[in-house]
Amino acid sequence: MTNTPFAAVIGWPIGHSKSPIIHRHWLAELGLSGDYVPLGIAPEDFATELRQLESRGFVGANVTIPHKEAALALADTVTDRARRIGAANTLVFRGGKIHADCTDGEGFLANLKQNAPDWDPAKGPAVILGAGGAARAIIVSLLDAGCPEVIVTNRTRTRADALASTFPIFVSDWDSRVDATAGCATLVNTTSLGMTGQPPLDMSLDLCANDCLVTDIVYTPLKTDLLKSAEALGLPTVDGIGMLLHQAVPGFEAWFGQKPAVTPSLREKVLAA
């Protein structure tokens, strides 16, 4: 065993993760000793292997698909926001215990605050397209940030209705998604529509408020058709790569002891990878 602190991103499969690039960039930039490695762990081995990581020198880990719910269930302590989101993405190992948090919603808000400083979530309704895990984290963050009305619209209505049974949100039919945007101050795409290789997101933005912030969590391509349509109407836009960068900040700080910065050079490095 070594004293060098290790962290990891755990998924199955794990090959595609950009998290090692982000954390290694910060370790080098801040001159800290430590490393951050990808770990592919199959679901059937997850519980056993997770419990062994601290004794192997790991101070914590990010967890990604398909382990986010299992990590929450296995943790000894859970932050309030992770419990409400129903998933964990950031684990800290200390004294034989696993502490779980979910930083996706914080990353979502921090990205918008950095790149659209005039945006105010409390200014008006927000419309969220999609009802998966990312939507859950974003709903919690917008409600906590004082958003007066959150409207969720999803192809499979029952998934949106299930969210409405947990959170004080409104649900709109997918076919009425354009009507749902009337006067909205924030529009978020959390579906996979518009991603390279996926169908396009067919969506008029004409009814949004004239200063509506439009953001997409899809970042391949970086400038999705949704963001292009918003720009053509003169609406402010923020692309999705920043959420990935910002969600990594709390974990790095917890594991390595310093708060890192999300800078243009980090962004360029991750986009180039």
Task: Provide Rg for the chain, Cα atoms.
Answer: 19
Residue number, 190 or 237, with CB nearest to ligand ATR = 190
Q: Is 123 a catalytic residue?
A: no
Q: Does 190 bind ligand ATR (CB under 6 A)?
A: yes
As given in the structure block, the two tokens for residue 186 are 């924030």
Q: Which residues fall within 8 angstroms of residue 86, CB to CB, at 6 or more apart?
A: 69, 72, 133, 136
Write down the residue that tokens 């402010």 correspond to: 236
Centroid of chain to Cα 178: 24
Q: Which residues pair with 77 in a beta bridge?
A: 99
Segment interacting with ligand ATR (CB under 6 A) among 19-27, 38-46, 117-125, 153-161 = 153-161
Q: Does 141 bind ligand ATR (CB under 6 A)?
A: no
Q: Which residues pair with 187 in a beta bridge?
A: 127, 214
Please state, as a whole number, how many other Cβ atoms lie within 10 Å of the Cβ of residue 84. 19
- H or E element that contains 12: none
Interacting residue with ligand ATR among 199, 220, 259, 271 (CB under 6 A): 199
Q: Does 134 bind ligand ATR (CB under 6 A)?
A: yes
Residue number, 240 or 260, with CB nearest to ligand ATR = 240
As given in the structure block, the two tokens for residue 124 are 């008006």
Q: Does 176 bind ligand ATR (CB under 6 A)?
A: no
Interacting residue with ligand ATR among 103, 154, 181, 186 (CB under 6 A): 154
Residue number, 110 or 131, with CB nearest to ligand ATR = 131
Residue number, 190 or 260, with CB nearest to ligand ATR = 190
> 97-127: string of b/e by CB count within 10 Å (b at 16+)?
ebbbbbbbbbbbbbbbbebbeebbbebbbbb
* Stretch 26-65: interaction string toward ligand ATR, x if CB under 6 A: ----------------------------------------
β 97-101/90-94 pair status: antiparallel
Total of residues contacting ligand ATR (CB under 6 A): 15
Residue number, 247 or 260, with CB nearest to ligand ATR = 247
Which one is catalytic: 18, 68, 223, 269?
68
Q: Report the interface residues with ligand ATR, using CB under 6 A.
A: 130-135, 154-156, 159, 190-193, 199
Question: Among all residues, which ones are annotated catalytic?
Answer: 68
